[in-house]
Each structure stands twice: as structure tokens, then as C-alpha cells.
Amino acid sequence: GAGVSQSPSNKVTEKGKDVELRCDPISGHTALYWYRQSLGQGLEFLIYFQGNSAPDKSGLPSDRFSAERTGGSVSTLTIQRTQQEDSAVYLCASSLSYRNEKLFFGSGTQLSVL
């Protein structure tokens, strides 16, 4: 595709349920990032991938959060046993190389935990 694609665009779930958020980066982009944007909180770094490996997972808020990337392309962010504080917009971005010269962002997934 022409840009970074994220699905679903909106997700409403009940507290305690698991959710999976998907990101399709721009073809050929080797680096992929996940961020969380909460109201008034800016962009919180979660994790990034270089190829299929994740050199830095330090931003994941708790062990309920995990992410994987397969085939150097699609990535899935999984949140287990969702809590109300997980409600936010989850943004995915990709870049051409590990030099991180420019990130291309998706439109995000708005997650609401009731």
C-alpha cells in the first residue's frame, strides 16, 4: 500500500478482555515503531522493531503488553486483560532504515476499554 495501515481504526472492549492491534508498514521499510497517544500525554514510546527483532522493549507498560513482527512486515500489538488505563490511540510508524531519518505514521487505533 501507499502508506502505513492500521486496523481496526476503532476498538471498544470490556475490561479484562484481550485485544490485538495490527500494523502494515510501508513495503520495504525495515524499522517499525509502536507509540501510545493519550490525551495531553504526547507520544509514549512502546517498542520498535528492526526487521523481526525488537532491540528495545523498554517502553512496554507491563507484561500484559506484547508485540511481534513477522516476515519483516506486519506487526501485531497484543494487550492482555485490558484495563481502563489502556484506553488511548495506538500509533504505528515505519521508516526506511534503522537510521530513523523519517517516520511515516498510520492513522492509529482508538482503543476504548469500558
In the structure grid, which three cell numbers stand for residue 97, read together?
A: 532504515
35 vs 82, which CB is nearer to other proteins? 35
33 sits near other proteins (criterion: CB under 8 A): yes
Shortest Å, Cβ 26 to other proteins = 13
Least Cβ distance, residue 53 to other proteins (angstroms): 9
**Is residue 91 within the footprint of other proteins (CB under 8 A)?**
yes
Where along the sequence are the contacts to other proteins (CB under 8 A)?
A: 31, 33, 35, 40-43, 45, 48, 50, 55-56, 59, 91, 93, 98, 100-103, 105-108
